[in-house]
Amino acid sequence: MPSAQVINNKDGAIYTTSNGAPVNEPYAAQRAGILGPLLLQDFYHIDLLAHFDRERIPERVVHAKGAGAHGYFEVTHDLSDITSQTLFKSVGKKVRATVRFSTVGGESGSADTARDPRGFAIKLKTDEGILDWVFNNTPVFFIRDPAKFPHFIHTQKRDPQTHLKDPDMFWDYLSQNPESIHQILILFSDRGTPDGFHQGHGYSGHTFKWLKDDGSFVYVQVHTLDNATAGRLAGENPDYGTQTLFETIEAGKFPTWTVYIQTMTPEQAEKFRYNILDLTKIWPHGEYPLRPIGKLVLNENPQNYFAEIEQSAFSPSHLIPYIEPSADPVLQSRLFSYPDTHRHRLGSNYQQLPVNVPLNPVANFQRDGPATFVSQGPRPNYVSTIQTLSYAVYKGAIDASVRDLDREAHHENFVGGAYRDLSEVTELDFEQPRALWSKVWNNQQREAYVQNVAGHFGNVKSAEIKARQLSVWAAVDQGLSDRIAKAIGHNPVKPLQVKPASEAVKFRAFLGFATFNPFG
């Protein structure tokens, strides 16, 4: 190969092959003679095409369209009264953050202005590993039974035959699973079309447990709240959220959120009107006030979208000491689903990609596999006798496991027989949506909701689905249902009949471990 001359490129680069050898003429391919076939010896050309052929990785099965940026999370308040996690005791401490915003249902090329919840995923690189907060911009969710998730998501994907999206599929599912109604109120309010990605709020939705060394814990929900009110989006640009996030950061106007938690003691959780493991419910701020914990700032655009945002891999199971999942069944399913999809989407060494790798040294017994970037050098690949376990454990866990805990009081009595866990809809499920409709919203918000719903729901073809979903709205409020019926030219429909609130499964009844045989 002749040696390369420096080419005066826009970026000043000397083009190279993938093995770094200089390339003079990037457009050229080697041929036999002037008009002959191409040569197998032309590594540059073959390498160019072979890599191009492999450019695509699977897109996320949900949340495929997104945008992101980097920044930091700063601890502003001491939380040592509720957790022994060092980070939340270190006021002033900043850790690196990567955030990815997304819509949920659409493909990676879809409009980021769609009516949809917005994902708000936050990766915090702490001194004790990665803590991911994989949030949405709504405090509740469509389901509380995780096995419904693929069904519900499929109703927003393309029809298996027509390859078209179909409002009948969407409303067919919702009308048969009315626990979704709280989220449907929020989604079809103007909060379902926020102004860009970075002006919204984020909510854990799920309940987590934050612990202390003495074994005590509180239940926690996390919220990232911004100062701006997310207004209704005007404009047709399908990349509006992506573009405004990038341009806002480039202009030095760094998006900032205050991070709060709501906490509940185990005793409060047992007395709470709703099941704290039910993702369709909120914790009223009046009873469980917001407590500020820190600040999230995005001040750095990615240099390369694919490497730093597309390859980011968030999971609710990426937790750090003293922060634990609750028994919320949807959360429990998510603990599995995210690392599983990352292994498929990015490979089994996805945690070693630069955007995902912890800042603290990783020492474990995972070895090799495709694209191993982080070498553990000569470290033993098994627990050798000369190693002590002391470096890896956190005191609370060990103490708690040996201490004679009152497991009942600590909500740890996960013993007993198999339990088939599927929730039932009761009158309790309509209380919070009813309060939203009749107490929280003003007339203008109510009218916007009716119009937003009519625009989508009005496209449903099936009379059965229409009547059934109208009966769900009627169970929230007859006036609400009647207004939607009128807007789409339908007769009024009576409320769906459900069990009384007294028959709802109480929180403690959820403490059985689900090991049921699905075929039984």
In angstroms, the CA 250 to CA 278 distance is 40
Residue 309 beta carbon to ligand HEM: minimum distance, rounded to whole angstroms: 8
In angstroms, the CA 73 to CA 260 distance is 12
* Closer to ligand HEM by Cβ: residue 66 or 255: 66
If one counts every other C-beta atom within 10 angstroms of the C-beta of residue 512, the result is 18
Residue 292 beta carbon to ligand HEM: minimum distance, rounded to whole angstroms: 21
In angstroms, the CA 193 to CA 485 distance is 23
Residues 6+ apart with CB under 8 A from 74: 92, 93, 94, 294, 295, 297
Residue 149 beta carbon to ligand HEM: minimum distance, rounded to whole angstroms: 4
* Closer to ligand HEM by Cβ: residue 118 or 446: 118
> Tokens 């999809």 correspond to what residue?
341
Residue 314 beta carbon to ligand HEM: minimum distance, rounded to whole angstroms: 5
Helix 167-176 vs helix 443-457: crossing angle, to nearest 10:
120
Residue 244 beta carbon to ligand HEM: minimum distance, rounded to whole angstroms: 17
* Inter-CA distances, 505 with 262, 391, 489, 501, 511, Å: 23, 42, 38, 9, 11
* Closer to ligand HEM by Cβ: residue 298 or 313: 313
Task: Provide the sign of the torsion angle of the four alpha carbons 388, 389, 392, 395, taken in this order.
Answer: negative
Residue 334 beta carbon to ligand HEM: minimum distance, rounded to whole angstroms: 5
Give the burial class of 430: count Cβ atoms within 10 A of its Cβ; 0-12 exposed, 13-18 middle, 19 or more buried: buried
* Closer to ligand HEM by Cβ: residue 186 or 330: 330
Structure tokens given for 5: 């001359």
- φ, ψ of residue 309 in degrees (nearest 5): -115, -50
Residues annotated as part of the active site:
63, 136
203 marked among binding-site residues: no
Is the CB of residue 355 less than 8 Å from the CB of residue 121? no
* Closer to ligand HEM by Cβ: residue 119 or 294: 119
In angstroms, the CA 120 to CA 338 distance is 15
* Closer to ligand HEM by Cβ: residue 31 or 151: 151
User: In 3-state terms, what secondary structure has residue 86?
Assistant: helix
* Closer to ligand HEM by Cβ: residue 141 or 246: 141
- Nearest residue relative to ligand HEM (C-beta): 119
Strands 94-103 and 66-75 come out as: antiparallel
* Closer to ligand HEM by Cβ: residue 93 or 345: 345
Strands 118-126 and 129-136 come out as: antiparallel
User: Which helix (H) or strand (E) segment is 73 a member of?
Assistant: strand 66-75
In angstroms, the CA 341 to CA 29 distance is 38
Per CB under 6 A, residues contacting ligand HEM are 60-63, 66, 100, 102, 119, 121, 134-136, 141, 146, 149, 205, 312-314, 330, 333-334, 337-338, 341-342, 345
298 beta partners = 71
Is the CB of residue 97 less than 8 Å from the CB of residue 71? yes
Question: Which contacts (CB < 8 Å, 24+ apart) does range 340-349 have?
Answer: 341/60, 341/61, 342/313, 342/315, 344/58, 345/57, 345/58, 345/60, 345/313, 346/57, 346/311, 346/313, 347/371, 349/373, 349/374
Residue 62 beta carbon to ligand HEM: minimum distance, rounded to whole angstroms: 5
Residue 222 beta carbon to ligand HEM: minimum distance, rounded to whole angstroms: 10
Q: Which residues are annotated as a binding site?
A: 338
Q: Which residues are annotated as a binding site for heme?
A: 338
